[in-house]
Structure 1
Amino acid sequence: MSTDQLLPTRHPNRPAAALRLSATIGVAEPEILGLDQLVRPGDVCFDIGAGYGMYTFPLADLVGPAGRVYAFEPLPVPHRILSTLHRRTRLDQVIIRRAAVGPVAGDQELVLPYRFGLPIHGWAHLNSGQVRSGRRISFSTTRILPTPVITIDDVCREQEVERVTFLKIDVEGFEPAVLAGAKEVLTRDRPTLLLEIEDRHLDKYGHSAAEVADSLRRLGYPMLAWRDRRWTPVTEVTTQGRNYLFSSDPAGLR
């Protein structure tokens, strides 16, 4: 049976409803429930490290037909499932690219660890910029995948994007490098940022969670986290959560 045959077709964006329900019961990331305070109809959003579309489809629901969601996923299996869901939902506002996002465009090596013969997608990472192995974890083998890398600024020029509202970035420690390729967008648009920030991933690129948070605060981005079903100002990255919001206008959150 093909992947297409396994997917529902009755609702044009049924994945978004399912993901919000999953977030409510603690199966999907809870921050999904706070996206409606950040994104409005007609907005342009980037989902970097889109995976199977956990954020892509809720964002598509919020921006509506007049908006755009650019989703980037370099891994073959997640990209294939994301693309299949996209075909079934027929959401014209979603544009999917099989690519990684970084500081400069080019071709890079993506490391995909395997354990017991199964790919560990949550530990896949780009070799570029890696200075140490990071937290050690037992893998039986790794696979190297040649992967195109693009930058946010280049995509905006290519697609003639005039304003970016929201960037979600979850790339296993490569988040600072992604932001380095978005200097024009950060300066021009001051988009809201939702980043995964974890020392276990950042360390292999020579960064720390505290350093990333401090650098964004210096750029005028106060830090918030989703706590008790609301975006709450926080002063440091803790083990209570891995996703943090950076908004240049936290008072403007609905």
Structure 2
Amino acid sequence: MITGTDACRRPTAIGALLRAAAAAGLAEPEVRGLAALVRPGDVCLDVGAAYGMYSHVLAELVGRSGAVHAFEPLPVPSRVLRAGARFTGGVVRPHAAALSETEHDGHELVLPVRFGLPIHGWAHLGGDRVRRALPGRSRSLRVPVRTVDGFCAAQGIDRVAFMKVDVEGAEPAVLAGAASVLARCRPALQLEIEQRHLDRYGHGTQRLVAELRQRYGYRMHTWRLGRWVPATEVGTAHRNYLFLARPAGDPHTGLPEPV
């Protein structure tokens, strides 16, 4: 287990503060469950990192021998993320790019606007296929887009332990661009899954869960009452879902409980 006394591997106290905030109901509760999934020295990917809530908690857990690659294409959150990353001693490594199934040098990113203010948490990749379900005005930005597989190959990353993906409905596209990493590493996956966002890209919750189960052997869990518990379907009570799979090549069919 990861204990609070292992201070020698903590880049900053920010991660501990965020976990305390989650325990008090002031941050996403799933933050508390990361300690069951991540170990010192691990490499993690935070896709849709925003201001770095998950990045800093992961940095606390992987320590100075690990790395957290945080992807955030929006200029304002990216600047905040980059500023906070300076306090982690290089453990959090920000990247001002989006991730998807194919790479682009300048892809459209739609940033909804309400009452004249940008809603960063609703930003999503655009394009001809996207059905923009959000009413009101929006801004359009051009951002670089990479794939997980391409990024890991370019960086020489051969093992990924954990991926958090929160990209407003484009989660299936990110996973499609991570096929090699998923097949090779079977990382733990935390995905935001909401049908209202998946609708924008013509995808469905049942299809997403079925693809992960059938192709990679993943099983779904939710964070409830202080622990990860198995789940059979996506519902309205949760936004974030954990997927675990046995390691590639492991003949054992049971899944360990991350408690």
TM-score, length-normalised on structure 1? 0.91
1:68-98 deviation line (CA, Å, top 9, x unaligned)? 11000001111111111112x1421221100
Offset of 1:129 from its aligned partner?
6.3
Q: Retained in 1: the 8 A contact 2:37–2:162? A: yes
1:168-200 deviation line (CA, Å, top 9, x unaligned)? 000000000001111110111111100000001
Q: Is 1:78 equivalent to 2:74 in the alignment?
A: no
- CA–CA separation in structure 2 for the residues paired with 1:92 and 1:122: 26
Aligned partner of 1:228 in structure 2 is: 225
1:139-183 deviation line (CA, Å, top 9, x unaligned)? 2x2111000000111111111011011110000000000011111
Q: Give the alignment of 1:57-72 within 5 angstroms.
A: 57-72=56-71
Instruction: Tell me the number of residue pairs that the alignment of Structure 1 and Structure 2 aligns.
Output: 240
Q: Is 1:142 equivalent to 2:138 in the alignment?
A: yes
Q: Retained in 2: the 8 A contact 1:59–1:69? A: yes
Alignment identity in percent? 53
Residues 129 and 95 of structure 1, relative CA distance in 2, 3 Å threshold? farther
Q: Is 1:133 equivalent to 2:132 in the alignment?
A: yes
Equivalent position amino acid for 2:204 in 1:
S
Offset of 1:12 from its aligned partner?
5.0
Residues 112 and 243 of structure 1, relative CA distance in 2, 3 Å threshold? same
- CA–CA separation in structure 1 for the residues paired with 2:65 and 2:161: 14
- CA–CA separation in structure 1 for the residues paired with 2:135 and 2:126: 18
Q: Retained in 2: the 8 A contact 1:164–1:191? A: yes
Q: Retained in 1: the 8 A contact 2:228–2:257? A: no
Aligned partner of 2:97 in structure 1 is: 99
User: Aligned-pair RMSD on alpha carbons?
Assistant: 1.4
Equivalent position amino acid for 1:55 in 2:
Y
Q: Is 1:244 equivalent to 2:249 in the alignment?
A: no
For residue 176 of structure 1, the aligned residue among 172, 177, 180 is 172
- CA–CA separation in structure 2 for the residues paired with 1:73 and 1:153: 17
Equivalent position amino acid for 1:253 in 2:
P
- CA–CA separation in structure 1 for the residues paired with 2:166 and 2:25: 19
- CA–CA separation in structure 2 for the residues paired with 1:179 and 1:128: 18
- CA–CA separation in structure 2 for the residues paired with 1:128 and 1:150: 16
Equivalent position amino acid for 2:258 in 1:
L
1:78-137 deviation line (CA, Å, top 9, x unaligned)? 1111111112x1421221100000111112000001111111112110014634223xx4
Offset of 1:218 from its aligned partner?
1.2
- SS of the equivalent of 1:17 reads helix
Q: Retained in 2: the 8 A contact 1:60–1:91? A: no
Q: Any gaps of 5 or more consecutive residues in structure 1?
A: 1-10
Q: Retained in 1: the 8 A contact 2:11–2:91? A: no
Residues 64 and 92 of structure 1, relative CA distance in 2, 3 Å threshold? same
1:200-224 deviation line (CA, Å, top 9, x unaligned)? 1000100111211121111210100
- CA–CA separation in structure 2 for the residues paired with 1:25 and 1:210: 32
Q: Retained in 2: the 8 A contact 1:129–1:205? A: no
Consecutive aligned runs of 4 or more in structure 1 exceeding 2 Å deviation: 128-131
Q: Give the alignment of 1:1-254 within 5 angstroms.
A: 13-87=12-86, 89-106=87-104, 107-128=106-127, 130-134=129-133, 137-139=134-136, 141-219=137-215, 220-249=217-246, 250-251=255-256, 253-254=258-259
